[in-house]
Amino acid sequence: MLSKNTVKFIKSLHQKKYRMDSGAFFVEGEKSVVEVLQSDFTLDLLLVTQDFAHKYATLLSRIGVEVLLVTANQLEQVGQYQSNDAALAVVKMKPNLTFMPQDDELILALDEVRDPGNLGTIIRIADWYGIKKMVLSPNTADFYNPKVIQSSMGSFTRVQFFYEELGDVFSRWNVPVYGAFLEGESIHQLKNLHPGVLLMGNESQGISKAIEKWVTRKVTIPGYGTTESLNVAIATAILCDNFKRILSS
């Protein structure tokens, strides 16, 4: 039975303060819940409809977590989806642990990308291009924001990340940092690339002056029309595609 306290707790996770206080977040919708069930995340609680329970009976039998049968209407009341007839999971956050880059990998870094939808889309883009690691500045959107989780479409389960001042990170890493700038080298003409960090900046201001000094090479996407700039998620996809193509050639 879904208690009032459980409903209150899940609803509190809509806000970052309570997510941080509890060390938990929620995932909703069939695809994303199945993804998190198959990942290395730890679940605290799982709400499922009868249809979801029947469809994924084998998967549910392997998890050691409390499962509550609920209606689609109850799922919609506690989550953010306007229509959810499948499941909602309460999941533990992972510790904010740093990592070191490997010699042959491309890492994404985000400097104050504040829109949750953009962050979620970028996580999905990273997953598509096989980028397994991201480093995020402290003012970048919250990885566990429900809109981030929703727009990542399950890719959040496959991308490792941590939050830290980027200058501190880059001072430890002896790898090239490629920064996206309007006045950089055309991505179509780049040669002699080495694996390192692809750095994307804030939606309106770009890469901050404090972080620009760590950029070893500025790159840009050539435009052929009159618009000022691209959405940061679209720009990330284009640059990732070109970087992967060049690095694998």
Mean pLDDT along residues 38-64: 96
Give the CATH number of the domain where residue 78 resides: 3.30.1330.30
Tell me the residue range of the domain where 70 lies: 4-92
| Alpha carbons 25 and 206: distance in angstroms, whole number | 29
Q: Say how far residue 140 (Cα) sits from the centre of its chain.
A: 11
Per-residue pLDDT band at 119 (split at 50, 70, 90): very high
Question: For residue 159, is it within any domain?
Answer: yes
- Answer whether 157's CB lies under 8 Å from 35's CB: yes
* One domain for residues 130 and 193: yes
- Does residue 136 have a pLDDT over 90? yes
* One domain for residues 151 and 41: no
Tokens, residue 73? 């209407």
| Alpha carbons 2 and 207: distance in angstroms, whole number | 46
Question: For residue 101, is it within any domain?
Answer: no
Give the CATH number of the domain where residue 210 resides: 3.40.1280.10
* One domain for residues 134 and 69: no
CA-based max dimension of the chain: 61
Question: For residue 204, is it within any domain?
Answer: yes
Question: For residue 76, is it within any domain?
Answer: yes
Q: What are 155-191's pLDDT values in tens digits?
A: 999 999 999 999 999 999 999 999 999 999 999 999 8
Question: Total structural domains in the chain?
Answer: 2
Of the residues 92, 119, 153, which one is the last residue of a structural domain? 92
- Answer whether 157's CB lies under 8 Å from 126's CB: no
Per-residue pLDDT band at 249 (split at 50, 70, 90): confident
Q: Say how far residue 96 (Cα) sits from the centre of its chain.
A: 14
Q: What are 2-18's pLDDT values in tens digits?
A: 999 999 999 999 999 99
| Alpha carbons 78 and 100: distance in angstroms, whole number | 38
